[in-house]
A and B are shown apart, each in its own frame.
Chain A
Amino acid sequence: MLKDVTIGQYYPTGSVIHKLDPRTKILFTTAFVVMLFFLNNLWGYLATFLILATITLLSRIPVGYIIRGIKGLVLIIMLTVVLNLFMTPGTAVATLGPLTVTLEGLKVATYMALRLIFLVVGTSIMTLTTSPIDLTDGMEWCMRFIPFIRRYAHELAMMMSIALRFIPTLMEETERIMKAQKARGANFETGNIISRAKNLTPILIPLFISAFRRADELATAMEARCYRGGENRTRMKQLIFEFRDSASLVLMVMMIVGLYLTTMIQIPLVFPI
């Protein structure tokens, strides 16, 4: 169950995409996410699909692994689709009792679903191909250019890397505690919502206690090594922008511009409006 969560996980394959500078990947992903909301016709989504497919192939991450990441979102996607399908006014194409499916609804629903899927796939490719340490290093660099936040860039990045570092640990811990309580006859699989929620107490309390204990231990360990925040701190691994990073940056800018250009295409694809 917990193992199905692929968002935020790192999947090492040593591909070209993995080797790219994290800063390039972060900038591209940000631009990509913004672009997704500008797209206004299916040509754009088609182009997005092609871009994502190429990157996925290059990254050598099994497609099944990425699709598993979408599974967790099926409910949200379904809800969006259904709501948009029936709630958008326009020309009716079919009626279902008191509900009417409009052509506009069909269009909006498709766009929303595609947008959500691409959003998740695009961002998970970034986290799948970038190790948490690279990711936070990249983030720290990017945050230096945002006013107000700039002062706390290091602290925020440190917090983020600690959080990322502890996601798998806490998941493991949860599973361990669940197993221990199951061994004592606890039942998490059946019963109604209220009894299931009640059954969580034997998991949540030990989990909180262990999280606090770990936080305490980590803080002590950091103090013991004289951690004093970002000031005067140097890095063992510097981020160095190489030729392949410049090349990929140019390519990525071209892709984003290309995506923007699709919004100007006037010839309709599938939807006649």
Chain B
Amino acid sequence: MSVEIKNLSHTYSEGSPFEFKALKDVNITIEDGSFIGIIGHTGSGKSTLIQHLNGLLTPTSGSVLVDGKDIFDAKKAELIALRHHIGLVFQYPEHQLFEETVQKDVAFGPKNQGLSEEEIDQRVKQSIKMVGLDFDAIKDKSPFELSGGQMRRVAIAGVLAMEPSVLILDEPTAGLDPRGREEILAQIKSLHSQKKITVILVSHSMEDIGKMVEKILVMNEGEVVFFDTPNRVFTEISTLESIGLAVPEVTYLMRRLKEKYPEIREDIFTVEAAKKEILKVIRG
């Protein structure tokens, strides 16, 4: 599914003293099957933007077109159906768990889609496996006796079980230990390459985003600053720093090295690529 955002603006509590313009005239097109990263300072409008994509928030002005159709023109039932195709994993999704067992909780989404029992069972099994958990060991446990990382995975599985064609994740690794972070990101990456679904990843970490996504959307105070490939975005160091962001550590290293070795490339943002480049220069 392609998603087109046109002149989207959103103002919270319009007309009250707490009025806040969260989005100002956002225009972007997300192509089918792409992997997009959204990055920005706290309060830059990332979360507000993604909640428009499945119609949870209604824009103050502008529109969101999914496969060419304006989702806010649609009836309520159509909007609910749309949410089956655009999966949104909120920040700290483990706070939404409520069922007695993991299996039942993951089945909540597919059940709302009105699928058959067998289909639901199969999807639950598959999505729990997809997030790297052992289905048989965990299915009858209460979600509340799991560890934080496991709860997070169960919650993500709950959205995956709906088999969305667009998957949006709002800081899926926030508050996890480094290993849990790596694992979840790897699973998202393989999900994207295997199932060919569109993935939109909101993150604070330039490192994470840099090595995973095809295009980065940089936001600041409700406006789009950049929407380009990581290579190009990460060369705009001064602009990024002026809006409270930074480029990956390794990019800074490459920049320092360039002072000594002018032939070295500096548009590098993963340790792997840096290693290759440095070896290449050293070995001449």
Q: State the Cβ distance, A178 to closest chain B Cβ, in Å.
A: 9
The 0/1 profile, CB within 8 Å of A marked 1, for residues 164-207 of chain B is: 00000000000000000000000000000000000000000000
The 0/1 profile, CB within 8 Å of B marked 1, for residues 161-188 of chain A is: 0000000000000001101111111110
Residues of B within 8 A of A (CB-CB), count: 27
Chain B: which residue is nearest A204 at the CB level? B98
Q: Which residues of B contact A185 (CB under 8 A)?
A: 80, 83-84, 108-109, 112-113, 162
Q: Which residues of A contact B90 (CB under 8 A)?
A: 176, 179-180, 183
Known: A179-B51, A183-B90. A11 touches B83 (CB 8 A): no
Which of A180, A201, A210 has the most CB atoms of chain B within a 10 A radius of its CB?
A180
Does chain A have a CB within 8 A of B13? Answer: yes
Q: Which residues of A contact B159 (CB under 8 A)?
A: 183-184
Q: Chain A interface mostly helix, strand, loop or mixed?
A: helix
- Bound CA span A176–B83, Å: 16
Does chain B have a CB within 8 A of A3? Answer: yes
Q: Are A187 and B80 in contact (CB under 8 A)?
A: yes
Does chain B have a CB within 8 A of A189? Answer: yes
Does chain B have a CB within 8 A of A194? Answer: no
Bin chain A's interface residue count: 20 to 34
Does chain A have a CB within 8 A of B210? Answer: no
Which of B88, B93, B96 has the most CB atoms of chain A within a 10 A radius of its CB?
B96
Interface residues of B in 70-98 (CB under 8 A from A): 76, 80, 83-84, 87-90, 93, 95-98
Does chain A have a CB within 8 A of B242? Answer: no
Q: State the Cβ distance, A64 to closest chain B Cβ, in Å.
A: 8
Chain A: which residue is nearest B77 at the CB level? A190
Q: State the Cβ distance, A56 to closest chain B Cβ, in Å.
A: 16
Q: State the Cβ distance, A206 to closest chain B Cβ, in Å.
A: 5
Known: A183-B83, A190-B76. A201 touches B98 (CB 8 A): yes
Known: A183-B56, A184-B158. A209 touches B144 (CB 8 A): yes
Does chain B have a CB within 8 A of A205? Answer: yes
Q: Which residues of A contact B56 (CB under 8 A)?
A: 179, 182-183
Does chain B have a CB within 8 A of A65? Answer: yes
Interface residues of B in 143-168 (CB under 8 A from A): 144, 158-159, 162
The 0/1 profile, CB within 8 Å of A marked 1, for residues 217-245 of chain B is: 00000000000000000000000000000
Q: A180-B96, A183-B83, A184-B96 are in contact. List 15 more A-B contacts (CB 8 A).
A: A11-B17, A13-B17, A65-B16, A180-B88, A181-B108, A182-B83, A183-B89, A183-B159, A184-B112, A184-B159, A185-B80, A186-B108, A186-B112, A187-B112, A190-B76
